[in-house]
Amino acid sequence: MKIDDAYSTGSSIMPQKKNPDATELIRGKTGRVYGSLTSLLTTMKGLPLAYNKDMQEDKEPFFDALDTVLACLQIMSKMIATMKVNSENMKKAVKGGFLNATEVADYLVSKGVAFRDAHSIVGSIVIYCEDHKKSH
C-alpha cells in the first residue's frame, strides 16, 4: 500500500520507508475522544439528583470530541483518496501466516475437543505445514 507524501514522513534510518503519520496520529486521538465520552457519562450519571446545573460542564468535552472527530475524518478521507493498494501483495499476506489457526481450534472445541487438545492439534498442523512448505 502506498499513501501520498502529504500524509507520511520518511524514516530517519531507512530513507525508502514511509511512516503513516496521519493514521498514527488519528489512532492517538481516540484516547482524547474516549476521555471526553467518560467525562460526559460521569456528568450525566448524577442528573436525577439535582437541578442539572452540572450540565454546563457537558459543552467543553462534547465540542472538543466533535471537533477532533471531524478533523480526523477530514484528514483520513483525504489520505484514503491518495491510497494505492497492491491487491496481489494483500492476497499473498492473507494466505501466509496461518491466520485461521485460532478458528480451527475454536471449531474443534465446538465439536467437543478440549481446548488444550485442540491447541495441540492445531499446533501440530502448523508445524507440519511449515516443515513441508505448505502455507495455505
**pLDDT score recorded for residue 135:** 73
3-state secondary structure of 70: helix
Question: Does 20 or 73 have the greater pLDDT score?
Answer: 73
How do residues 90-111 score in pLDDT, each as one tens digit?
Answer: 888 887 788 889 999 999 999 9
Question: Does 126 or 17 have the greater pLDDT score?
Answer: 126
**pLDDT score recorded for residue 92:** 82
User: Per the structure block, which three cell numbers stand in for 55?
Assistant: 450540565
Cβ proximity of 135 and 96 under 8 Å: yes
Q: Is the pLDDT of residue 12 over 80?
A: no
How far is it, in rounded angstroms, from Cα 112 to Cα 29?
43
How far is it, in rounded angstroms, from Cα 103 to Cα 111?
12
Q: Which amino acid is at 42?
A: T
3-state secondary structure of 15: coil
How far is it, in rounded angstroms, from Cα 9 to Cα 22?
9
**pLDDT score recorded for residue 123:** 94
Nearby residues of 57 by Cβ (< 8 Å), 6 or more positions away: 39, 43
**pLDDT score recorded for residue 105:** 95
**pLDDT score recorded for residue 136:** 57
Q: How many residues does the chain have?
A: 136
How do residues 41-91 score in pLDDT, each as one tens digit?
Answer: 998 887 777 677 888 888 999 999 999 999 999 999 999 999 999 999 888
**pLDDT score recorded for residue 47:** 73
Q: Residue 126 — very low, low, confident or very high, per pLDDT cuts 50/70/90? A: very high
